[in-house]
Amino acid sequence: MGRVNFVKFKLNRFEYVKPFHITNSISYDTENIEVVVELDNGIVGYGEASPSFRVNGEKVQVLLALEPVINEMIVGMDVREYRKIFDETDKLKAAPSIKAAVQYAVLDAFSEEIGVPVYQLFGGAKRELETDYTISIGTLDERLREAKEIVARGHSVIKIKVGENLEEDIQAVIAISEVSKGCKYIVDANMGYTPKQAVKFVTELYRAGVDIAVFEQPVWMFDIEGLKYVRWNSP
């Protein structure tokens, strides 16, 4: 068999080791929802939703209220026909993070049932994934200390949060690059710059010899003309 017996949500609260500061937002903790899918043969699959009100408009209390809805949707369905479960849960258009967590839990249970890891199910394209480590917005000293810690821990992809103060950001990224030679940099302005500021930012970094791998959210997300301007005026 492999039919869904029940779906259960569990709220987990995580406190950050230190505050996480990005443009217009400082957070001290996060609340994630763990999704447990139990099958009638006792197999259990797990998923996790990390909702963001800022990004998706999702509220944790609202997502928790979906537990009975999702049970009604998929209890009794067979994970060996997970595409049918996906077709049902794809209707959760206003709750993308919980939808993804439920679907992943279903895949996890299917994977357990057939004894094949999920990464092989989808073709085993990679055996390793490199993740980045993030430097919050802070004073130059704080940022440099974080950069040195990250390099010491062996990471080689660094995400740098910028977007609140153009001149400080430029100086900080240059200084960070000097203490982390050989690393790749993702700079993330979380929509904090104007289009002209964003172009000035990358142009000055380019002149200083700092190569940026990804420039994330330079300007306001709906400013399509501004994004085009940044795209066509970046070095």
For position 76 contacting a copy of itself by CB under 8 A, the verdict is no
- Binding segment for a copy of itself (CB under 8 A), chosen from 54-62, 73-81, 160-168, 201-209, is 73-81
Lay out the sheet containing 4-22: strands in order across. 4-22, 25-39, 44-49
> Which of 55, 116, 208, 214 contacts a copy of itself by CB under 8 A?
116
Smallest distance, Å, CB 125 to a copy of itself?
Answer: 4
Nearer Cβ to a copy of itself, position 90 or 149?
A: 90
Nearer Cβ to a copy of itself, position 114 or 224?
A: 114
> Which of 84, 91, 148, 228 contacts a copy of itself by CB under 8 A?
84
- How far is the C-alpha of 9 from the C-alpha of 6, rounded, in Å? 10
Judged by CB under 8 A, the number of residues near a copy of itself is: 17
> Which of 1, 65, 118, 121 contacts a copy of itself by CB under 8 A?
121
For position 122 contacting a copy of itself by CB under 8 A, the verdict is yes
The CB density around residue 234, as the number of other CB atoms within 10 Å, is 15
Nearer Cβ to a copy of itself, position 70 or 137?
A: 70
Question: In one letter, which amino acid is 60?
Answer: V
Interface of this chain with a copy of itself, residues 205 to 224, rule: CB under 8 A: none
Task: Give the list of residues 6+ apart from residue 30 with CB closer than 8 angstroms, or none.
Answer: 13, 14, 16, 50
Nearer Cβ to a copy of itself, position 81 or 167?
A: 81
Q: Which is it for the CA torsion 201, 203, 208, 210, positive or negative? A: positive
> Which of 125, 153, 154, 225 contacts a copy of itself by CB under 8 A?
125
For position 61 contacting a copy of itself by CB under 8 A, the verdict is no
For position 129 contacting a copy of itself by CB under 8 A, the verdict is no
Smallest distance, Å, CB 106 to a copy of itself?
Answer: 10
For position 83 contacting a copy of itself by CB under 8 A, the verdict is yes
Lay out the sheet containing 184-188: strands in order across. 133-135, 157-161, 184-188, 212-216
- Binding segment for a copy of itself (CB under 8 A), chosen from 49-57, 91-99, 121-129, 221-229, is 121-129
Q: Interface with a copy of itself by CB under 8 A: which residues?
A: 78, 80-84, 86-87, 114-116, 120-125
